[in-house]
Amino acid sequence: MTAMLDVKNIEVAYGKIVAVKDVSLSVNKGEIVTLVGSNGAGKSTTLRTISGLLKPRSGEITFNGERIDGRPGHEIVGLGICHSPEGRRIFARMTVRENLELGAFLRDDKAAVNEDMERVLDLFPRLRERISQRAGTMSGGEQQMLAVSRALMGAPSLLLLDEPSMGLAPVLVEMIFETITKIRQQGTTILLIEQNAMAALEVADRAYVMESGKVKMSGKASDLRKDDQITKAYLGGH
């Protein structure tokens, strides 16, 4: 099977500091793949490089057989990769509707955009209730729903999710992960970064464990979840 996303031996640096070293990973169509590891492991840097916010110093990234490393972010969105970043990064002074419309800024298929608007409002009914509200006045959980929905409005075939449950109450964490599963069921492939590693491994098909900018191990999520040594070393188990 040819991977939808194929990352080969990328190295990414901030000045003289190398944040990602020789990282390779792949995502197949229809999968949920998760990157887990501690803060500073290089997970977010990897996602930012895939989505065109950073350029790798070496290595290559292909998406549906097309090389994308070094291309600008708006071109990568146009190819079908959308990124819901860590920290939400919503437009606080704009309404929920305006944020969602911005997610579709590259699209000119108005009927399909309207259909996707309804789809995300069905996924997150709370946003429908808040559709005319300024995004900055909403709760953290509602803002996270908006960040994910805005990314979905780009009609991605691959959705990059960076820490979707960060700072949320447990009941909202459960809801976010249920929704991630629904998004996959609706046909979107997902690459997920999540501090709540055990929850991520519950929904993912495969996982990569990152440490100090490198992939230390990979495999089926169900296998990694059951491995006592792995849970102790990387996933906060006891």
pLDDT band at 107 (very low <50, low <70, confident <90, very high): confident
Distance from chain centroid for Cα 202 = 16
How many other CB atoms sit within 10 Å of the CB of residue 106?
12
Q: What is the pTM of this model?
A: 0.89
Q: Which residue has the tokens 């990694």?
A: 224
Mean pLDDT along residues 4-9:
96
d(C-alpha 144, C-alpha 63), whole Å = 26
CA dihedral 149→38→218→26, nearest 10 degrees, is: 40
pLDDT tens digits, 17-72: 999 999 999 999 999 999 988 888 899 999 999 999 999 999 999 999 999 998 99
Percent pLDDT > 90 in the chain is: 52
Domains and CATH numbers, the chain: 1-80+158-164+190-238 (3.40.50.300)
d(C-alpha 133, C-alpha 92), whole Å = 10
Beta strands in 113-211 (DSSP E): 158-162, 189-193, 206-211
Helix (H) or strand (E) holding 20: strand 17-27
From residue 171, how far is each of 7, 167, 176, 238 by CA, in Å? 34, 12, 9, 24
| Residue 112 identity (one-letter amino acid) | A
d(C-alpha 25, C-alpha 10), whole Å = 10
pLDDT tens digits, 156-175: 999 999 988 887 878 888 88
Q: Which residue has the tokens 């990897």?
A: 46
pLDDT band at 85 (very low <50, low <70, confident <90, very high): confident
Does pLDDT of 88 surpass 70? no
pLDDT band at 191 (very low <50, low <70, confident <90, very high): very high
SS (H, E, C) 68-133: CCCCCHHHHHHHCEEEECCCCCCCCCCEHHHHHHHHCCCCCCHHHHHHHHHHHHHHCHHHHHCCCC
pLDDT of res. 235: 57
pLDDT band at 238 (very low <50, low <70, confident <90, very high): very low
Mean pLDDT along residues 99-127:
88
pLDDT tens digits, 137-147: 988 888 888 99
pLDDT band at 233 (very low <50, low <70, confident <90, very high): low
pLDDT of res. 181: 92
Percent pLDDT > 70 in the chain is: 95
CB 80 within 8 A of CB 155: yes
**Mean predicted lDDT score pLDDT of the chain:** 89
d(C-alpha 133, C-alpha 83), whole Å = 23
- Let me know how many helices (H) and strands (E) the chain has, helices first: 10, 10
pLDDT of res. 38: 80
